Structure 1
Amino acid sequence: MHNCPHPVARILLWCGWAVAVERAALPELGLLAVAIATAFLFAPVRLQLLRLLRRTRWLLAVLVLTYAYAVPGTVLWPALSWASPAIEGLQQGGLRAGRLVLLLAGLAVMLAYTTRPQLIYGLYVLARPLAWLGFDRRAFAVRLGLTLEYVEQAPKPARWLDALREPMPDEATPTTYTLHAARWQSCDVAVILAALLLAVLG
């Protein structure tokens, strides 16, 4: 298991990427797209992104159509009158969908090289300040880990209705979930600085 960058640094780097993608103007957004495209030379990243895009394809379509019909502007097909989408709406919807795809691309890079226990451990560490408010981060990590493990190993029913009818497993649910702590290293400082730069300069 690779311990560098630290799981927390990886999550924060994606957060910085998300802020940069959201704040970037169109020219800078193109540069970010070119930068992230280099990651898809590697098969694990491509597989993760295709999986994420497949799961969000309807959201992307609805997003574009919502903007196309909600934003006033020049109609694309005048013969259809009110039934025609607006050109400005399509442009804004396409831009918003493009930003979402870039967010998913950054997430795909992180997930491709971060195991599930590493991701849970990173969230566990980041949730430490919430403990002052009474949040039980240990219980959160255990429940999240066991839930993801069950979802991954559970047999997939043929239809979603069958999933609702599936009985709960009879075996006792384990009460412990082990996470391996990761140590901070010098490379993690560089990753955190990169995340801050992305958030500030985006």
Structure 2
Amino acid sequence: MFHPASLLLAWGAGVFALQQLDLRGIAGMAALALVAAVWVNAGMLLIMVRRVRWLLASVVILFLWMTPGVFVSGVLGKLGITVEGAWAALEHLLRLLAIIALLALLLARLSADSIVAGLYTLLAPWVPFGLERRSLAVRLMLTLEYVAEEGHRGWRELFLANKTEESGCVRLPRSAWRLGDGLFLGVVILLVLSLGWP
């Protein structure tokens, strides 16, 4: 099992790589990520896609009808859809789906406690600059626990809720950084560099 911090860094590297790829590369990465996410935990992927369905729809609609260019031939062109808008909508849709799939893979490997522990480790370099990473980790963990407990409620009820219960103790899982974590991150960084700067 890799250290949570290394998995979080790998996820961030994957998101960064998606910003550097062309449409063909994005499509390939999205296909691999979606297949892997379905294989590992299809239920989680479906839940995440359903929760952001309006965001996905908004992105597609905005790029389809707000991108100037040459109108598509046929009925779609009469509706005001351009060729450039269609390609842009496809590119951004695939990029978002790839990010969601990568996040589903991350959440399939890490619990909420592990994610907080990983962020706690990654924030260590900022402690000399005055960052209170302990209080930040505690707040994040309590927020994740609250969302998990209230997950069955609607977002309006969650927003209007006034929960003031206090937890007595918060424990973060600890795991040692191993050689495998460094090798794993090295491979990920080399892969990202090869994709971003061909």
Pair 1:84 & 2:80 matched: yes
Partner of 2:26: 29
Which shifted more, 136-145 or 73-82? 73-82
Corresponding residue number in structure 2 for 1:124? 120
Once the two structures are superposed, residues 17-49 of structure 1 have per-residue CA deviations (whole angstroms, 9 ceiling, x without a partner) of: 1122111123333432343244145342x2222
Q: Secondary structure at the match of 2:52?
A: helix
- Secondary structure of the corresponding residue to residue 72 of structure 2: coil
CA distance 1:152–1:34, shift in 2 (3 Å):
closer
1:35-54 alignment, distance < 5 Å = 35-40=32-37, 42-44=39-41, 46-54=42-50
The reply on whether 1:137 has 2:133 as its aligned counterpart is yes
What is the TM-score normalised by the length of structure 1?
A: 0.84
Give the equivalent residue in structure 2 for 1:16: 13
Residue of structure 1 equivalent to 2:54: 58
Q: Who is 2:173 aligned against?
A: 180
User: Following TM superposition, by how much is the alpha carbon of 1:126 offset from its aligned partner in structure 2, in angstroms?
Assistant: 0.6
* Whole-Å separation in 2 of the counterparts to 1:49 and 1:41: 7
Instruction: Name the aligned partner's letter for residue 144 of structure 2.
Output: L
1:167 & 1:114 partners in 2: Cα distance?
Answer: 29
Which one-letter code corresponds to 1:61 in the other structure?
A: A
CA distance in 2, matches of 1:67, 1:146: 38
* Percent of aligned pairs with the same amino acid: 28
- Partners of 1:167 and 1:130 lie apart in 2 by 32
Task: State the AA in 1 paired with 2:102.
Answer: G
The correspondence for 1:168, drawn from 163, 177, 192, is 163
- The residue identity in structure 2 corresponding to 1:94 is L
**Please, which runs of 5 or more residues in structure 1 have no aligned partner?**
none
Q: 1:115 to 1:155 in 2, by over 3 A?
A: closer
Structure 2 distance, partners of 1:101, 1:60, is 8
**Aligned pair in 2 of structure 1 residues 166, 26: CA closer, same or farther (>3 Å)?**
closer
Q: What's the secondary structure of 1:42's corresponding residue?
A: helix
Deviation string, structure 1 residues 87-123 (Cα, Å, up to 9, x no partner): 2102111111101111111111111111111110000
Query: Which structure has the higher relative contact order (CA within 8 Å, separation 6+)?
Result: 1
Distance 1:73 1:125, change over 3 A: same
Residue aligned with 2:171, SS: coil
Q: If the length of structure 2 is used for normalisation, what is the TM-score?
A: 0.86
Mean Cα displacement is larger for which, 136-145 or 87-96? 87-96
Q: Which amino acid aligns with 2:45?
A: L
